Amino acid sequence: MKLFGIKDSDLCDFCKTEIETISHLFWECTVTKDFLKVFSHLAEKCNIQIPDRMSSIIFGILPIMRNIPVNNFLLILKYYIFRKSHQAKELYFEEFKVYLENYQNIEESYLSTENWIKKWVPLLDFWT
């Protein structure tokens, strides 16, 4: 981001100790790790398995067609982390739940019922 003039520093906006790379932001950063630990524990209660490998967090879980809900969930999670990092704000689980619910409501208004069900029904217990 510094290279493009978006940020003044290459350091991670969360931990402020390491150079921010994709792998650092989504996997190695202590702030993200702590958030993912709490997040993974709560997600397991809803039968959502958060991957424990960096490549799965960054690139998604294969095969994609059998893992649409979790990959959708991971994509939204990564966007939340990225956005919070560049706003220099903390990660809050309750805030993420509200963000996820709002995202789901928006998609419900324009996806066909069949596609919405594939994408969201396995995740609905997460925020209820």
- Is residue 1 in a domain? no
Calculate the alpha carbon distances from 114 to 19, 46, 75, 123 in Å: 42, 22, 20, 15
Question: Average pLDDT, stretch 103-109?
Answer: 85
pLDDT band at 2 (very low <50, low <70, confident <90, very high): low
Residue 118, token pair as written in the block: 């594939």
Contact 85, 13 (CB under 8 A): yes
> Which residue range(s) make up the domain with 54?
22-127
What's residue 128's pLDDT? 57
pLDDT digits (tens, 9 = 90+) for 33-82: 999 988 787 777 767 778 888 888 888 888 877 788 888 888 999 999 99
Burial label, 36 (beta-carbon count in 10 A; 0-12, 13-18, 19+): buried
In this prediction, residue 82 carries a pLDDT of 93
- Examine the pLDDT at 126 and tell me if it is beyond 70: no
The domain total for the chain is 1
In a domain, 5, yes or no: no
103 within a domain of the structure (yes/no): yes
Kindly state the tokens that stand for 57: 């967090």
Instruction: Answer whether residue 2 is part of any domain.
Output: no
Cross-strand partners of 27:
none
Residue 15 DSSP SS3: coil
Q: What is the mean pLDDT of the chain?
A: 84
Q: Is residue 6 part of a domain?
A: no
Whether residue 54 is contained in a domain is answered as yes
In a domain, 17, yes or no: no
Res. 104: pLDDT tops 90: no
d(CA 128, CA 114): 21
